[in-house]
Amino acid sequence: MVTIVMTGATGFLGSRLLRALLTDGTTAVTVLGRDGNQQPLAARLESALRDCGVTPDELRRARDRLTAVPVDLTQPCLGLKPSEHERLAEQADAVLHCASAISLTGTADTLAPVNVAGTRHLTELADHAPARAPFLYISTAYVAGAAPHSTNPPADEIITGYEQTKQQAEAVVQEWAGRRQRTALVLRPSLLATNRPGTAAQQPLSVLGAGLRDLVELAPPLLRRALLRKRAGVPRVRLRLVGDSASRLNVVPVEYAVDAILRLARLPHEPGVTAYHVVHPVDTSASVLVAAVNEILPGVDLVLQSSVDRPNPIEQQVNPMLASFLGRNWRNWADECIPLHDVLPDLPAPAAIDSTYIRAAMNVSSLTRG
């Protein structure tokens, strides 16, 4: 039985990685995380697994291979006693670090305790793991330059505090692997999404969908009907969006990312850091996102332009929501990288990302039915 010590297993990507690890029947997973205000870690894990589609039978079979260990990533030794910390490390055949404080508005200072110090504390745990145990770190495509093994992304492409701290965390992993002559993988997914039913909480597109849903539901009844219905002979509501129609998004289905990450983890790697971009092979035009929003709000005439002078009340609410997607170029930043299919020739291709996929990922079916 292989034992994976893992963080971030209640998150969008982490819960699906956990499900895949438990499905094969030969892997035990020890999950490190925090107890919630209302739920202990073990209950949070089961809730996260159910949210991503785990059946009661599947969950029952997995329980004897799933161990929850409450920790504090921000504390030395993860807040554990030294003997507990050492025992935890000694059982690890691999350390998979998915946990992260995710915020597009948080500063580097507020996110660093989890994203940077937490990563350092995980490498200190890995210090005591068997020498063969790799360290797998989930980063983001938006800290990286073109080279597939680069750990020095261009500073002018680092925009948010989140990206800054993920870059700093990569440096922690690089320094640790070099100093200890250990194997580490840095895995850089782009914008994760799913079009499958479920809560799909906290994926960027579902957060955008929730914002649009709130906007419509809070609108006066007459305006709500105008947004949701395209009526013959009735002019559509004109809405100006700040953005560039030439910009691109890289949306990667989480199911494809999970498959790729686990296949990459099984490949042989030399000591040191190897970085992979876990991205969709085809970028999506920002205009596809606009089309998806237009399908949700058929009574709206959406116009992309570089700036909006004297925005109306709806534009004042919508533009901040869409700014994260349309206000910068979210392409994959891996144009010159070795494509995943060259490294993993048997990896099935991901789903195509079109407006139908994006609309499903935004999880607004109840709104569109209304």
Mean pLDDT calculated for residue range 88-100: 96
Residue 34 exposed, middle or buried by CB count within 10 Å (0-12, 13-18, 19+): middle
DSSP 278-301: E--SS-EEHHHHHHHHHHHSTTEE
Other CB atoms closer than 10 Å to residue 165's CB: what's the count?
Answer: 29
Percent of the chain with pLDDT over 90: 55
CA distance 49 to 45: 6
Mean pLDDT, the chain, whole residue set: 87
User: Taking CA 208 as the corner, what is the angle to CA 206 and CA 211, rounded to the nearest 5 degrees?
Assistant: 110
Contact 173, 119 (CB under 8 A): yes
Question: Can you give the pLDDT at residue 238?
Answer: 85
Question: Can you give the pLDDT at residue 213?
Answer: 85
In single-letter form, the type of residue at position 277 comes to H
Check pLDDT > 50 for residue 56. Answer: yes
Check pLDDT > 60 for residue 290. Answer: yes
Provide the token pair at 338: 């070795």
CA distance 175 to 181: 10
pTM metric for this prediction: 0.90
Mean pLDDT calculated for residue range 157-180: 89
Range of weakest confidence among 159-168, 181-190, 200-209, 310-319: 200-209
Give residue 244's pLDDT band: very low, low, confident or very high (50, 70, 90): confident
Range of weakest confidence among 10-19, 142-151, 208-217: 142-151
333-364: per-residue pLDDT in tens? 766 567 788 899 999 999 999 999 999 998 88
Mean pLDDT calculated for residue range 200-214: 79
Contact 278, 347 (CB under 8 A): no
Question: Can you give the pLDDT at residue 144?
Answer: 57
Residue 68 contacts by C-beta under 8 Å, 6 or more apart in sequence? 31, 33, 40, 41, 42, 45
Percent of the chain with pLDDT over 70: 91
Question: Can you give the pLDDT at residue 148?
Answer: 37
Check pLDDT > 90 for residue 158. Answer: no
Question: Can you give the pLDDT at residue 336?
Answer: 56
Q: Which domains does the chain have, with CATH numbers?
A: 2-192+251-278 (3.40.50.720), 196-249+283-331+348-369 (no CATH)
Mean pLDDT calculated for residue range 275-283: 92
- Classified as helix, coil or strand, 248 is strand
Provide the token pair at 288: 């596809």
Mean pLDDT calculated for residue range 3-25: 94
Mean pLDDT calculated for residue range 213-242: 82
Check pLDDT > 80 for residue 199. Answer: no
Check pLDDT > 80 for residue 322. Answer: no
The length of the chain, given as a count of residues: 370
